[in-house]
Amino acid sequence: MQRGKGRVDLSYLGIAGPSVVHETIEGEVVIVNLDKGLYFSTDGVGAYVWGMVVAGRSVDEIHAWGAEAFADASVADDVDAFLADLRTNELVVEAAEAAGADEVDLGAVPATYARPALHVYADMEELLLLDPIHDVSDEAGWPHAAA
C-alpha cells in the first residue's frame, strides 16, 4: 500500500532469520549477516530505529516516533531510506504482524537528529563465512577455510 511521497506501508519488519545477529554496545548497534559474511553498524537515530524494529514496533509507529521526536520534515523519508537499506542487505524482512518481539531497552532518544546510516563492512567476510561445525580436519585444525 502506497503512502504519501512514495512511501510504502510495510506494516512490520522482523529480523531476517537466525543468521542475522545483533548487539548494542555503548549506543552503537553491530549487526552480522552470517549467510553473507558481512557486518554492519549504525548509531544515533539508526540505532534507535533498529531497536524499534527489534521491539516489534510497526513502521507507522516508527514514523510517528520520528515526527514527534524531531521537528524535521525529512525524518520520514530518511527513516524509509534506512529501512530500505536494512531490507536490501537482508537484515530485515517484511511481516504482516509483529514477530515475537525481544525485550529491548531503547534507551534515550538521540539528542539531535542526524540521518540514520547503515555502514557495511566486508573485511571479515572469510572469517564470518567459515563453518566451524563442518570445516574441521586433523591436519589443519578447527576451523579452517576450505581449499
Q: Enter the C-alpha cell of residue 124.
A: 571479515
Report which DSSP code applies to 45: H
> Distance between CA 45 and CA 82 in Å, rounded?
10
Query: What is the predicted pLDDT for the residue at 97?
Result: 77
> Distance between CA 107 and CA 43 in Å, rounded?
12
102 class by beta-carbon count within 10 Å (0-12 exposed, 13-18 middle, 19+ buried):
exposed
Query: What is the predicted pLDDT for the residue at 101?
Result: 58
Q: Collapse the DSSP code of 67 into the 3-class scheme (helix H, G, I; strand E, B; otherwise coil) and give the result.
A: helix
Query: What is the predicted pLDDT for the residue at 72?
Result: 80
Query: What is the predicted pLDDT for the residue at 3?
Result: 44
Per-residue pLDDT in tens (0 to 9) along the chain, 147 residues: 334 454 445 589 999 988 899 999 999 999 999 888 899 999 999 999 999 999 999 999 999 999 999 988 789 999 999 999 999 999 999 987 776 655 777 878 898 999 999 999 887 766 655 555 444 455 655 455 555
Report which DSSP code applies to 137: B
- Report the side by side order of strands in the sheet with 119-121: 20-25, 28-33, 38-43, 119-121
Pair 38, 88: CB distance under 8 Å: no
- For the packed helices 75-88 and 59-69, what is the interaxial angle rounded to 10 degrees? 140
State pTM to two decimals: 0.77
